[in-house]
Amino acid sequence: MALLSVLARTLPRAPRAGARLVRLSSTERAPPKLALYTSALCVEHDAGMGHPESPERLTSLLALARGEWATKFGEELELREPNVDVTDEQLLRVHTERHVSRMRAAFATAGSKQATLSLDADTRVCPSSGAASLRASGLTVAAVDAVLADGARTKRAFVMARPPGHHAEPDTAMGFCLFNSIMVGVAHAQAAHGLRKVALLDFDVHHGNGGQAMCTEHADRFFASSHQSPCYPGSGNRLGTSGVAGQVLNVPLKPGAGSEQFRTAWADTILPAMAAFAPEMVFVSAGFDAHEFDPLASLFLHEDDYEWVTKKIAETAGGAPIVSYLEGGYEIGALGRSVRAHVKGMIEA
């Protein structure tokens, strides 16, 4: 079942950013409550005219971050744009060597031909996709390092990058996703920082099959997803737990479900299960395509639901560090309002 929609728009590219850290407030007082990691390099990934995972998704969010959000949140939000790319060592913690090699070959072919290549019906690479995807995963690693650094005073980070990643499996790119950036972060937290128990929560409208695949055999990785079912990618259809230690939890929602069903799933099932697991760090696949105006599915959430679930996740995490990563969300106006709600929730909880 293909995920593409015929309705998507593209806008002119944002200017490429250099290596720097940009504060959203000129006055330094308390440390920021949320670090927002991003890069103009991630705008350059372009799957072609009409593809819903368009550069406009990020250009619109960057404009909001530098404008409205800077005014609203001031010194509580800090925009960070480090020039840092993921390494093969970091990718190979969650992806197979064959997958990494195939992706690098696809990037090289797209670059040499100056063409867009289709990996499957939905997933494409262009000459700039390699730089964008390596930077997106690298930003996630940088965010993990920052919130786990000795003496870190900012314990929450949002990686506002693209392409999305939660459908990418160990050996497969799919569903617009090339590398599973949030899982690269999960594995890095464990391998480089020695964390024993981590949680990955996914509220994208589509099941996070890639995250589940990379957590199933790891008893020290809790995974939970709420998502529409039936829907792409066709997995996660059964309510309940699986995994080697029962640490994988899926809560499918029927088409047409809205705020009440979504909030009940999180308040009654997902968050209590995460609390019982007691993770040392929480990761979030933050997809916003369950919004009522999104064209790729049929759930009916509002931006208030994203603020609510973000605050509930943060409250349940207690003082544990949190890193979230932008996944889906394809109606530009709804995406901007929903991401703002997520940022607000991370700051205020």
Angle (nearest 5°) at CA 94 between 93 and 98:
95
Joined together, the tokens standing for residue 175 give 């569903």
Q: How far is residue 16's CA from residue 142's CA, in Å, rounded to a whole number?
A: 19
In the chain, count of helices (H) and strands (E)? 11, 12
Joined together, the tokens standing for residue 197 give 């128990």
Cβ count near 153 (within 10 Å): 10
Which residue is listed with tokens 């728009």?
9
Q: How far is residue 228's CA from residue 231's CA, in Å, rounded to a whole number?
A: 6
Asked if 160 and 139 touch (Cβ cutoff 8 Å), the reply is: no
Whole-angstrom CA distances from 275 to 150, 245, 252, 269, 321 are 25, 16, 20, 10, 14
Whole-angstrom CA distances from 15 to 12, 159, 166 are 9, 19, 27
Is 114 strand, coil or helix? coil
Phi, psi (rounded to 5 degrees) for 299:
-95, 165
Cα diameter, the chain: 52
H runs (alpha helix) in the chain = 56-66, 68-73, 88-91, 97-113, 129-148, 181-193, 209-215, 259-265, 271-277, 303-317, 332-348
**Which amino acid is present at 163?**
P
| Helix, strand, coil share (%) of the chain residues, nearest 5 | 40, 20, 45
Q: Which residues are catalytic?
A: 167
